[in-house]
């Protein structure tokens, strides 16, 4: 049982069902993994081993016929999401030891489905900054190379899943806070369609961008979560086959974004070649000029939403807020309300157009990150390539399988139109098999 921490959630569930593994044994294995790795990775903001084992024993006592579809699945929760039995501290000195006695909506759903809420994972301050430990950021390290960032703001969840400390983690995404750590840590990461999962009890930076993020090491595990959250497509379920399908390859969203680095550029080419060898058509596309200002508008809306989100903390403890959050509240960018409305409306007008483009293909393939995880922990990396799908409210999955010049993970994003999350997973299951079947070195 000592190596059961290596199991995905789906694999562990099979063993729970046949009686070859108990939830308590599984939890003990995961805790042993955490103990051996925590001094290196630092993925946890709060973890109580006794509470974990107590909850595991309770789950083992549930009769087989009453067990939920997530029975025993261990989940790390980003520390901006309320949990009734653990502190929620937002990596902010304002909320040190803060312990509300209620669950966020997402956590309530997971518990009702039998999940084992394992602990709270690290985050940047309020999931709203990109700075590292020298600026009150998490000291979490990339498990593949501890001298590098695991990404952020969902630093701990991405690192914990990538380091086999839990099979599933919850993050959040306002720009690129789920997909970027997914790529850096070499795991599957999903930002579902915006507002398809409850955000009640989740610290909001932006009402119209923030989305619960999902981490796992297999598509099957992501599907467990989508099913628990009752994400259902309108269209009937159909098997997906790569042969004969058509993909769009978006190597550079618009000239507004930076150019991809060598590792990402090679991954895009390699991924396209692999799909073509499987019989798919891969068409290179560029976004038209009408999408050119998407990122500019995204940041303008984010600034306006930040003025609202952090005003209470500004009044209560301005001296304890990161300077970037103070600047939001004080509107240091000097955006007018008219500019913010224009940005809001322009983004809304773009969404159905990009949906229509995506619906012409099985999925859009796009870069997840600029390149491998950067050296150092002072910054969690550039989120620009993740931003379009957050702004457009579209579901996106990071698929691992490639490596950069230093042998570190690089993933690619697959994107579909809004509320086609299950379709996207069916495509990702087949594409993931192809991408993960080879080394992917440049």
First-last CA distance in the chain: 37
Are 182 and 373 in contact, with CB atoms under 8 Å apart? Answer: no
Helix (H, G, I), strand (E, B) or coil at 142: strand
Q: How far is CA 54 from CA 49, 75, 79, 176, 219, in A?
A: 9, 15, 21, 35, 29
Structure-token pair, residue 111: 């518990």
Are 182 and 398 in contact, with CB atoms under 8 Å apart? Answer: yes
Residue 334's region, left for phi above 0, alpha for psi from -120 to 50, else beta, is left
Q: Bridge partners of 249?
A: 284, 365
Q: Which residues are catalytic?
A: 78, 153, 177
E strands along 167-296, which residues? Answer: 168-173, 188-191, 211-216, 246-250, 281-285
Q: Helix 9-18 and helix 219-228: axis angle, to 10°?
A: 80
CA 63 to chain centre: 33
Q: Bridge partners of 213?
A: 171
For 405, phi then psi, to 5°, come to -65, -25
Please state, in angstroms and rounded to a whole number, the distance separating the CA atoms of residues 300 and 294.
Answer: 10
Are 214 and 227 in contact, with CB atoms under 8 Å apart? Answer: no
Q: Bridge partners of 169?
A: 76, 215
Burial of 65 (0-12, 13-18, 19+ CB in 10 A): exposed
Structure-token pair, residue 156: 């701990």
* Listed residue (168, 159, 157, 154) closest to 225, CA to CA: 168
Q: Bridge partners of 259?
A: none
Are 431 and 242 in contact, with CB atoms under 8 Å apart? Answer: yes
* Listed residue (27, 52, 54, 442) closest to 260, CA to CA: 442
Q: Dihedral sign, CA of 201, 207, 210, 211?
A: positive
Alpha helices, DSSP H, located in 133-290? 155-162, 179-185, 219-228, 262-277
DSSP-derived pairing of the beta strands 281-285 and 188-191: unpaired
Q: Bridge partners of 427?
A: none
């Amino acid at each position: 049982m000592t190596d059961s921490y290596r199991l995905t959630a789906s694999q562990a569930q099979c063993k729970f069902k046949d009686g070859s593994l108990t939830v308590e044994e599984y939890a003990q294995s995961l805790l042993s993994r955490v103990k051996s790795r925590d001094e290196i990775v630092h993925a946890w903001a709060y973890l109580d081993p006794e509470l974990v084992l107590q909850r595991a024993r309770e789950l083992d006592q549930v009769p087989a016929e009453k067990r939920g579809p997530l029975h025993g699945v261990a989940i790390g929760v980003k520390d901006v999401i309320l949990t009734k039995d653990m502190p929620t501290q937002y990596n902010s000195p304002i909320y040190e030891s803060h312990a509300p006695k209620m669950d966020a909506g997402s956590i309530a759903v997971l518990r009702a489905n039998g999940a084992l809420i394992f602990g709270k994972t690290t985050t940047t301050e309020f999931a709203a900054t990109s700075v590292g430990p020298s600026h009150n950021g998490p000291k979490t390290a990339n498990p593949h190379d501890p001298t590098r960032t695991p990404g952020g703001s969902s630093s701990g969840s991405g690192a914990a899943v990538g380091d086999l400390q839990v099979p599933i983690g919850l993050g959040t995404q306002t720009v690129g806070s789920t997909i970027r750590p997914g790529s850096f840590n070499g795991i599957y990461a999903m930002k579902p369609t915006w507002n398809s999962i409850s955000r009640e009890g989740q610290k909001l930076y932006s009402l119209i961008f923030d989305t619960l993020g999902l981490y796992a090491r297999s598509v099957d595990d992501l599907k467990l979560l989508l099913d628990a959250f009752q994400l259902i497509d309108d269209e009937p379920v159909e098997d997906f086959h790569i042969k004969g399908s058509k993909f769009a390859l978006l190597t550079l969203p618009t000239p507004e974004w930076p150019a991809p680095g060598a590792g990402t550029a090679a991954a895009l080419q390699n991924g396209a070649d692999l799909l073509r060898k499987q019989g798919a058509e891969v068409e290179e596309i560029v976004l038209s000029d009408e999408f050119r200002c998407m990122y500019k508008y995204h940041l303008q809306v984010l600034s306006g939403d930040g003025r609202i989100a952090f005003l209470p903390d500004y009044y209560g403890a301005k001296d304890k807020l990161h300077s970037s959050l103070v600047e939001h509240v004080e509107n240091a960018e000097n955006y007018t309300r008219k500019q913010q409305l224009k940005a809001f409306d322009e983004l809304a007008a773009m969404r159905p157009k990009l949906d229509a483009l995506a619906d012409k293909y099985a999925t859009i393939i796009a870069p997840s990150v600029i390149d491998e995880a950067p050296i150092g922990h002072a910054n969690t990396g550039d989120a620009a390539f993740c931003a379009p799908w957050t702004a457009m409210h579209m579901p996106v999955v990071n698929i691992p399988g490639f490596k950069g010049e230093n042998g570190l993970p690089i993933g690619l994003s697959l994107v579909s139109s809004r509320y086609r999350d299950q379709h996207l997973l069916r495509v990702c299951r087949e594409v993931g098999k192809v991408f993960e079947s080879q080394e992917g070195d440049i």
